[in-house]
Amino acid sequence: MLIQISFVSIQIYAVIRKSIIKLQCVDEKSIHINMSYSVIQAKVMDGVNSTHEYFMRQAIKEAEKAADINEVPVGAVIVYDNRIIARAHNQKEMLKDPTAHAEMIAITQCAEYLQNWRLTGATIYVTLEPCAMCAGALVQARIDRLVYGAVDKKAGACVSVMNLVQNPKLNHRLEVIPNILADECRDILKRFFLENCRIR
C-alpha cells in the first residue's frame, strides 16, 4: 500500500526553515508541526521576556538613584507605545511626603505627559510589589499592566498580603506579570537595609 507523501505549508515553517519539509506520514506531520509551534512559541516568549527585562533594568536604575540619596531603593518606569514616558524613584524622605512612592510619582508624570488621568494602554514596571496605596492608584489610573520584580511579603497588595489590582469587585483589573529580575531587585533592597543597619 502506497503512503501518500504530503507537504506542510511553508508559512508554518517560515520562522524555523526556509525550505518545504517533506513528511512521511500523518503522525510525523503532527510531530513536526507541534515541535515547530513550540519553537516559535519559545522565541516569542524569549522576545517578550527580553522586553520586560529591558524596562525592568530601567526601573532598577531608578531604584539605585533612590539608594544614592538614602531612600528605600524602589524604582518605577511607565511604558506607553513601547517607550518610557515616566521615570521615578522613592522620595519620601526628601519630600517629607508619605505618598511619594516611586509608583505614585510615575503615575503623576504619566498623566501629565498624556494629559489624561486615564492611563489606558500603559504598562508600569516597578522593582517591588506595590503597596495598597500604589495598587489602588494603579486601579484608579486604569493602567493596563503591572510588571514587578521582588515580592513584598509584608506590604505587597498584588498577591502577598492582598490583591487589589485584580479584585473582581473593583471596576478595573490589571494584567500582572511578577518576578521579572526578582533577584536583582531583591538584592538592591538587601544591600540598602544591611548598610543602614551597619551605620546605625
Q: Please identify every residue annotated as catalytic.
A: 103
Question: What is the rounded distance in angstroms from the CA atom of residue 97 to the CA atom of residue 88?
Answer: 15
Counting DSSP H helices and E strands in the chain, the numbers are: 5, 7
Q: Are strands 145-150 and 175-177 parallel, antiparallel or unpaired?
A: parallel
Greatest Cα pair distance in the chain = 85
Q: Identify whether the C-beta of residue 65 lies closer than 8 Å to the C-beta of residue 87.
A: no
Q: Which residues pair with 77 in a beta bridge?
A: 87, 125
